[in-house]
Structure 1
Amino acid sequence: MAFGDQPAYLRVADDLRKKIVAGDLPPHARLPSQARIREEYGVSDTVALEARKVLMAEGLVEGRSGSGTYVREQPVPRRLMRTGYHPRGESSPFRQEQGDDRVSGTWDCGSEQEEASPEIAERLRVEPGERVMRTRYLFRAAGEPMMLSTSWEPLAVTGRTPVMLPEEGPLAGRGVVDRMAAVDVVVDNVAEEVGARPGLAEEVLALGGVPGHVVLVISRTYFAGGRPVETADVVTLAERYRVAYHLPVK
């Protein structure tokens, strides 16, 4: 579709977007009111409202209750390093997810048993309804929420062992590779898929974003002799991070 054939609300949104990118409407500046947009661009209230909705959906502006709509300060994307497993002595879930040794972090977590959903059962190659241990993490870097992770481990592998609970026992807080090795399971491969989707409300809230933000999802599975022994979804805000891989050449 040629630019001239675009709906009026997209033409208005495009012009306002250019002003934001150019700095004519700097961060924290108030976006022109609906009435001002209507007058300046010669459009209807409906068109003005839809143009503002586009900018909000793109994360360029945010509404403040009782005050108006303001230009958001855009974060500078940081790298989320993915380097595979490297022995680091005291490995940790944070190191497992963030491969940059220069970044330190903390995490909150909680584990509970549940029945494997059809999706998780397929990823772990078990029957739907089999018991798994689900562990949820919230990782922070420099005190700020960085990413969420939810992992599932088949209790057929870890049940009734000292490593059944990832954050309790003799290897509490250690990575999957070290914990599995303690029960004679040798992890020899890991697979990851990266995708993007609209963030769920609870995810975006936990990560300090705003409704409508897109999240990156890294779906990771550890294997031992071809058998999945852990699968996880790592979630982070797409506007804040770029997933960077550093892989050895064999």
Structure 2
Amino acid sequence: MTVPRAEDEDIDRRSLHERIAADLRDDIMSGNLPPGAKLPSTVQLKARFDASNATVQKALQLLKDERLVVGRAGAAVTVREHRQQTVRPADYMAPAERGEPYRWVTESSRGGAGARSELLEVAEVVPPADVADALRLTPGDTALLRCQLLLIDDEPVELVKSYYPLDIARDTAMTTRRRIKGGTPTLLADLGYPPRLSVDRVSARVPTQEQYRALRLPSNLPVLRTLRVVYSDGETPIEASVLVKAGHLYELRYEFTAD
């Protein structure tokens, strides 16, 4: 068996156009190239990466396919407006005010974006193992699933699968295939299960086929998967959600105090 040499482990085996796209993508996500900014010219990119014109164009096409930049042949390529989103999970935990829509819609609509949710499925299912464990179910037990797709300006941004213990959800509006005014946090609070604590476990993963199709992903870029468990009084788990969003378009912001 051939043992890889140490220096071989430092080689980036991606195609040159993929490496160029990765560096430019990082410049966009980090703010070095903010929304509306022009990307360096083809001549500058050829010199920076020691690449041919065709290779640079392939890299730019990747970023266009990812909806990070816009531009046409012979014109400057610019970073798309309002594409990079910073999400503060704490903004969505509290129930909506009376008469107000689901809090995600309210927060995502700030700045003029058209945010909406599309309910895809409501069913009793056996949840994934990590969800079942979070809800303290025994293997094979079922839970209520409410699956929805969140969209901004008619572009899918997040696939959300929320699971609820049947002893809480049964005989409530959660079991019907229709949107709940204020969202399930408001309904749960009305049922005597106000959210007290939310715990997130975030990982980067290769998208599943379902996630790839639902989010209309342009390539095999990673997604951000969050397993969010919401607890009520007595540390009772009342909701476990799997939230999946495109990793190249979003960052999560968490704030902590020093105790």
- Give the TM-score of the pair, scaled to structure 2: 0.66
Q: Percent identity?
A: 15
**CA–CA separation in structure 2 for the residues paired with 1:10 and 1:117:** 34
Contact 2:122 2:145 in 1 (8 A): yes
Contact 1:204 1:213 in 2 (8 A): no
Contact 2:95 2:185 in 1 (8 A): no
**CA–CA separation in structure 1 for the residues paired with 2:181 and 2:229:** 18
Aligned to 2:196: 188
Aligned to 2:136: 125
Aligned with 1:178 (options 180, 186, 195):
186
Aligned with 2:123 (options 112, 117, 134):
112
**CA–CA separation in structure 2 for the residues paired with 1:203 and 1:14:** 25
Aligned to 2:250: 241
**CA–CA separation in structure 2 for the residues paired with 1:32 and 1:14:** 5
**CA–CA separation in structure 2 for the residues paired with 1:198 and 1:85:** 30
Contact 2:126 2:140 in 1 (8 A): yes
CA RMSD of aligned residues (A): 3.7
Assess, with a 3 A threshold, how the Cα gap between structure 1 residues 219 and 180 changes in structure 2: closer, same or farther: same
Aligned with 1:207 (options 195, 215, 220):
215
Aligned to 2:98: 89
Contact 1:167 1:173 in 2 (8 A): no
Assess, with a 3 A threshold, how the Cα gap between structure 1 residues 10 and 126 changes in structure 2: closer, same or farther: closer
Contact 2:229 2:239 in 1 (8 A): yes
Is structure 2 residue 162 aligned with structure 1 residue 151? yes
Aligned to 1:72: 63
Alpha-carbon deviation of 1:113?
0.9
For the pair shown, the structure with the greater C-alpha radius of gyration is: 1
Alpha-carbon deviation of 1:117?
4.2
How many residue pairs end up in the alignment?
A: 209
Assess, with a 3 A threshold, how the Cα gap between structure 1 residues 18 and 243 changes in structure 2: closer, same or farther: closer
Contact 2:95 2:186 in 1 (8 A): no
Assess, with a 3 A threshold, how the Cα gap between structure 1 residues 91 and 244 changes in structure 2: closer, same or farther: farther
Alpha-carbon deviation of 1:139?
0.8
Assess, with a 3 A threshold, how the Cα gap between structure 1 residues 247 and 99 changes in structure 2: closer, same or farther: farther
**Which amino acid in 2 is paired with 1:148?**
L
Is structure 2 residue 119 aligned with structure 1 residue 136? no
**Which amino acid in 1 is paired with 2:159?**
L
Assess, with a 3 A threshold, how the Cα gap between structure 1 residues 174 and 191 changes in structure 2: closer, same or farther: same
Is structure 2 residue 24 aligned with structure 1 residue 24? no
Alpha-carbon deviation of 1:173?
3.8
Contact 1:90 1:174 in 2 (8 A): yes
**CA–CA separation in structure 1 for the residues paired with 2:163 and 2:129:** 13
Alpha-carbon deviation of 1:119?
2.6
**CA–CA separation in structure 1 for the residues paired with 2:256 and 2:245:** 21
- Structure 2: runs of 5 or more not aligned: 1-5, 25-39, 46-51, 69-82
- Structure 1: runs of 5 or more not aligned: 34-54, 62-69
**CA–CA separation in structure 2 for the residues paired with 1:212 and 1:192:** 24
Alpha-carbon deviation of 1:216?
0.7
